[in-house]
Amino acid sequence: MLILGLESSCDETAAAVVERGRLVRSSVVASQNEIHRAYAGVVPELASRAHVERILGVTRDALANADVRLDQIDAIAVGHRPGLIGCVLVAVSAAKALSWSLGKPIVGVDHVHAHLYSGVLEEVGGPPALPADDVFPALGLVVSGGHTAMYELTAWTQMRRLGSTIDDAMGEAYDKAATILGLGFPGGPALDRLARTPGARADAEVFPISRIAPESLDFSFSGLKTALLYAVKGVPEHHSVTRARATGSRTVKPPPPAPLPLTETRRADLAASFQHAAVAAIMLKLGRAADAMSASGVKPRTLLTGGGVTANSHLRMELQRFAEQRGFRLALPAMKFCVDNAAMLAGLGHELLAAGRASDLNLEAMPATAI
Ligand code: KG4
Ligand code: ZN
């Protein structure tokens, strides 16, 4: 079975052809970084216009690269939630038009859900994917620009959310931290590179690792982001006065020391320290989630991971170490399937169709995830 996947939820226009839900015959991604760089963030109207201009081109390229004709496609999978609504609409409209004109089934796929699938995709000539019938129970982690959450999965269609971020997503925190450090857009990969500067010290600054509460499975990255801001710009003077008032203390602390000069070495140290704390927060909660699942009698067999931040060098190493220690099989996406792509949608679409979850032409584009 050949499925054509289409994706346009944020700033990547993508199409892919996937065979039997696993083998990626082609995956084409048109990134819009050059359009949004000047604004240091995605401008929704510019993004949706670019999707309209590119969706047919990437679809043609995906078919050509897979060496299949449109009439050989068995179904169309499309990311229909979550995303910038004017963007999501583009792929959804294209998928409906193809479904109607070809008389082929359409299946709407949740983009966040699809990130969890990206680690079981297989490339032509690449290492084999995990056996399809041997994945569950699984602990799932999505770390992307818009979402950071963990899930317990007993099937591709049976899952529950264990916890999620109460403020920034991890990728969003990376992007903001990169802006504070004066790095370009998109910030995540740039900060990751800076943190890997030879000699950069991850213990140069002790940044907070959010715990929230002893048993919490939620994440928080806003405190870490603020700590980095203060390390770069200095703690505002009113901060100590306000603190003294809030605690009823009579002694107002002396003004905080001026921040260290932001030399190249200092920037690399701050990037490494930020990266250390951000990844430690993820690993802490993953450990808690795995313990909680085991305690409830659902011992995970696999750790499914996905989302743009799974491209992060430090996180990838820590995930490998964690999976080894716990005896979990790790489904870590190949670098090209970490960030947004349509192969993950086509792959999960196959599983949804097999589970009888086909959509129809009433499929709606929606801004929020359903998982
Ligand atoms: O999954 P994705 O492409 O889009 C969403 O669904 O949100 O993730 C994009 C996010 C951005 O915030 C980007 O900065 C981050 O993934 N990212 C990284 C790295 N590569 C991409 N963050 C940290 N380190 C990286 N190497
Ligand atoms: Zn994504």
Ligand 1 within 6 A of 187 CB? yes
In the reported structure, the alpha carbon of residue 145 is separated from the centroid of ligand 1 by a whole-number distance in angstroms of 5
What's phi and psi for 43, nearest 5 deg? -95, 110
pTM for the model stands at: 0.94
Confidence of residue 41 (pLDDT cuts 50, 70, 90): confident
What would the pLDDT profile of 135-172 be if each residue is shown by its tens digit? 999 999 999 999 999 999 999 999 999 999 999 999 99
What would the pLDDT profile of 252-300 be if each residue is shown by its tens digit? 677 778 899 999 999 999 999 999 999 999 999 999 999 999 999 999 9
Confidence of residue 38 (pLDDT cuts 50, 70, 90): confident
| Calpha distance 345→110 (Å, rounded) | 8
| Residue 311 alpha carbon, nearest atom of ligand 1 | 26
Ligand 1 within 6 A of 339 CB? yes
Closest residue to atom 26 of ligand 1, CA basis? 312
In the reported structure, the alpha carbon of residue 40 is separated from the centroid of ligand 1 by a whole-number distance in angstroms of 14
Ligand 1 within 6 A of 309 CB? yes
Ligand 1 within 6 A of 174 CB? yes
| Three-class SS of 329-366 | EEECCCHHHCCCCCHHHHHHHHHHHHCCCCECCCCCCC
> Are the CB atoms for 359 and 335 separated by under 8 Å?
no
Measured between alpha carbons, how far is residue 221 from residues 91, 172, 272, 313 in Å? 31, 9, 16, 19
What would the pLDDT profile of 55-89 be if each residue is shown by its tens digit? 999 999 999 999 999 999 999 999 999 999 999 99
Ligand 1 within 6 A of 171 CB? yes
